[in-house]
Amino acid sequence: MGKEMVVYQKKDSVAMVTLNRPDSRNAINTQMVAELEDIRNEISRDNDIRVVIITGKETFCTGTDAGELSLSENKAELIGRLSVASLVAGLDRPSIAAINGEAFGQGLELALACDLRICTETARFAMNHMASGDIPWDGGTQRLSRMVGRGKATEMILMGDVIDAREAHRIGLVNKVVPPQEIMAVVMDMAQEIASRGPIGLRYAKEAVYKGMDLTLEQGLRLEADLYFLLHTTRDRTEGIRAFQEKRSPRFEGR
């Protein structure tokens, strides 16, 4: 294989995943997806990794490689091989999208699959599939509406307009907007802060939020209670209590 289309780095308990097709503005193709899947599998096997950061070299991601979409008449099979959102959404650790430029089309769908989104002041966003006669297909119709509400999501999908970082923050699409030169420092600080928490607690909290959205309130409260009681059977919870009593930082082991 030639130049890596996705660069993977690990710093302490944080995994850094960087899309690396700057000449194509990080447009997604099948090789990139294959590399992302290999990286996802490696992260899943590494119990030391507690947070994943996803970003792009020079910009975030401007969507699907147009050449890839024309390669096959079997669109269902091709779309299956091009999907990245499901890879990211399936991570059992918290993920942060560091959006350092444009997040268009499938690039925005990728960002939506992350748990948190931090962007630069110059970032731009669009669900622009319909400009080419298409519709969002990598989770965009579902995740965007859950993130910003049905009305705004429908507007963004039907109109395909580009919105800026300020508007993205106003509608709840991103969690924070920072100067371009500060984004990686801010995201790394957030990742390290999250990584200092107990990994089992992080996993259960994420499960409660995401699964609870598809349940009734009563069912969601039951799930939350079940996970809470289950957490109390772990060594990490015991360590958290002991560390608090001893006024020291906890040493979580994920057990």
Q: What is the CATH number of the domain that holds 215?
A: 1.10.12
Find the radius of gyration of the CA atoms of the chain: 19
The answer to whether 44 and 50 have CB atoms below 8 angstroms apart is: no
Would you say the C-alpha torsion 139, 144, 150, 152 has a positive or negative sign? Answer: negative
Task: With cut-offs at 50, 70 and 90, classify the pLDDT of residue 250.
Answer: low
Q: What is the CATH number of the domain that holds 28?
A: 3.90.226.10
Amino acid occupying residue 172? G
**Where do we find the tokens 């999907």?**
83
Task: With cut-offs at 50, 70 and 90, classify the pLDDT of residue 79.
Answer: confident
| Residue 224: CB atoms within 10 Å | 18
Q: Is the pLDDT of residue 233 over 90?
A: no
Residue 13 lies in a domain: yes
| pTM across the whole model | 0.91
| Residue 74: CB atoms within 10 Å | 9
Examine the domain organization and report whether 120 and 207 are in the same domain. Answer: no
Examine the domain organization and report whether 43 and 164 are in the same domain. Answer: yes
Distance CA 4, CA 255 (A): 35
Q: What is the pLDDT at residue 66?
A: 84
**Where do we find the tokens 């996705």?**
6
Average pLDDT, the chain: 91
Examine the domain organization and report whether 213 and 149 are in the same domain. Answer: no
Of 195, 218, 238, the one marking the end of a domain is 195
Q: What is the pLDDT at residue 1?
A: 41
Domain count, the chain: 2
The edge-to-edge listing of strands for the beta sheet with 176-178 is: 6-11, 14-19, 51-56, 95-99, 116-120, 176-178
Q: What is the pLDDT at residue 78?
A: 74
Q: What is the pLDDT at residue 72?
A: 61
The pairing of strands 14-19 and 51-56 is parallel
- Residue 208 token pair: 């409660």
Give the helix/strand (H/E) hosting 45: helix 30-45
Residue 180 has what DSSP assignment? G
Residue 170 lies in a domain: yes
Q: Is the pLDDT of residue 174 over 70?
A: yes
Examine the domain organization and report whether 127 and 36 are in the same domain. Answer: yes
Would you say the C-alpha torsion 20, 23, 25, 31 has a positive or negative sign? Answer: negative
Residue 129 has what DSSP assignment? G
Residue 116 lies in a domain: yes
**Listed ranges 10-14, 108-112, 133-137, 202-206; the one with the highest mean pLDDT:** 108-112
| Domain extent at residue 233 | 199-246
Examine the domain organization and report whether 120 and 233 are in the same domain. Answer: no
Examine the domain organization and report whether 189 and 205 are in the same domain. Answer: no
Examine the domain organization and report whether 105 and 164 are in the same domain. Answer: yes
Q: What is the pLDDT at residue 243?
A: 56
Q: Is the pLDDT of residue 147 over 50?
A: yes
Examine the domain organization and report whether 173 and 236 are in the same domain. Answer: no
Examine the domain organization and report whether 153 and 224 are in the same domain. Answer: no
Q: Could you give the C-alpha distances from 91 to 95, 112, 182, 188, in angstroms and in order?
A: 8, 13, 26, 18
Within 8 A by CB and 6+ apart from 187, the residues are 53, 55, 96, 98, 118
Examine the domain organization and report whether 178 and 151 are in the same domain. Answer: yes
Distance CA 52, CA 88 (A): 9
Q: What is the pLDDT at residue 242?
A: 64
Examine the domain organization and report whether 211 and 139 are in the same domain. Answer: no
Q: Is the pLDDT of residue 164 over 90?
A: yes
Mean pLDDT of 73-85: 80
